[in-house]
Chain A
Amino acid sequence: GAVVSQHPSWVICKSGTSVKIECRSLDFQATTMFWYRQFPKQSLMLMATSNEGSKATYEQGVEKDKFLINHASLTLSTLTVTSAHPEDSSFYICSARDMVAGLDTQYFGPGTRLTVL
C-alpha cells in the first residue's frame, strides 16, 4: 500500500517554542492531506484538512494561528505548533488521501509524539 512518513517521530520542547512536523507521501501524490490529534484512550480527532496550494480548512475549535499548516507540494504538508504549551502535548498523526481507481483511501503516517515541558 501507499506509504506516508512523518518527521520527527517524537519531540520534546520547552514551553513557548515552536515545533514543525513534516508529513510526506512517499510513493504517491496527495492533493489532500489531513492532520489528526489523538489523546490517550481516545479516538483520532481531525484538526484540519490541507489542500495543496491553498489554505487549510480547520475544524471547529482548532486555532488557526496556533497550528499552522502548509501544503506546498503534492508530497509534503507541514504542521507547525506555535508557542507550544504543555496542553499541546499529544500524538499528532497525518494522513494523505490517495485516489486509486476511483476509491478514496487515507493512508496514515506513523505519528509524532510531542511533549511540551
Chain B
Amino acid sequence: DQQVKQNSPSLSVQEGRISILNCDYTNSMFDYFLWYKKYPAEGPTFLISISSIKDKNEDGRFTVFLNKSAKHLSLHIVPSQPGDSAVYFCAASAHYGGSQGNLIFGKGTKLSVKP
C-alpha cells in the first residue's frame, strides 16, 4: 500500500508560469513533509519542508502548502524556469511520532518547463 502518492507522473509548464506539484498521503502519523528535486544519475536535492503545525512554508520561488484534513500537500514553483525541469519527489516522515526519521517517498513527478 502506497502511503505517499504522487498521482501525476509528469507535468509540463511554460516558462514563467506557475508549476503545481501535488502529493497525497494516507498515514495520519506523518507529521513532517519534504520535497526533493532530482536530476538523472544524481542524488535528490532537498528543496523545502513543512511540519504539521504549519499549513504553508515559503522559500524564494518555492512554496509548500499542507492541508492536513485532506492529507494533501502541494509544491508551487513560481515563476517556473527551464532549470527547474527535473523529477520532484514528495516525502513524509512520522518523526515526531518516534520513528528514526525514515522518509517514505512518492514515485515522483517529472516536471518539464518549456522556454
A interface with B by C-beta (< 8 Å): 1, 4, 6, 32, 34, 42-44, 46, 49, 51, 57, 91, 93-95, 97, 103-111, 113
Asked whether, in the complex, the Cβ of A107 is within 8 Å of the Cβ of B46, the reply is yes
In residues 79-115 of chain B, which contact A (Cβ within 8 Å)? 89, 93, 95, 100-103, 105-108
B interface with A by C-beta (< 8 Å): 32, 34, 36, 41-46, 49, 51, 89, 93, 95, 100-103, 105-108
Number of A-B contacts (CB under 8 A): 56
- For the complex with contacts A97-B101, A104-B95, 20 further pairs of A-B residues with Cβ separation under 8 Å are A4-B43, A42-B107, A43-B89, A43-B106, A43-B107, A43-B108, A44-B89, A46-B103, A49-B102, A91-B41, A94-B43, A103-B49, A104-B93, A104-B101, A105-B49, A106-B34, A106-B46, A108-B36, A111-B42, A113-B41
- When distances are taken between beta carbons in the complex, the residues of chain A under 8 Å from B100 are 32, 49, 51, 57
Once A32-B101, A43-B106 are accepted as A-B contacts, the answer to whether A1 and B43 lie under 8 Å apart by CB is: no
| A53, chain B: closest CB distance, angstroms | 14
Main secondary structure of the interface of A (DSSP, over half): strand
- When distances are taken between beta carbons in the complex, the residues of chain B under 8 Å from A110 are 42-43
Once A34-B102, A44-B89, A97-B101 are accepted as A-B contacts, the answer to whether A105 and B44 lie under 8 Å apart by CB is: no
Distance A56 CA – B102 CA, assembled complex (angstroms):
13
Once A43-B89, A93-B44, A110-B43 are accepted as A-B contacts, the answer to whether A105 and B34 lie under 8 Å apart by CB is: yes
Once A34-B102, A93-B43 are accepted as A-B contacts, the answer to whether A103 and B36 lie under 8 Å apart by CB is: no
- When distances are taken between beta carbons in the complex, the residues of chain B under 8 Å from A97 are 101
- When distances are taken between beta carbons in the complex, the residues of chain A under 8 Å from B106 are 43
Asked whether, in the complex, the Cβ of A43 is within 8 Å of the Cβ of B43, the reply is no
Asked whether, in the complex, the Cβ of A106 is within 8 Å of the Cβ of B43, the reply is no
Distance A110 CA – B41 CA, assembled complex (angstroms):
8
- When distances are taken between beta carbons in the complex, the residues of chain A under 8 Å from B32 are 103-104
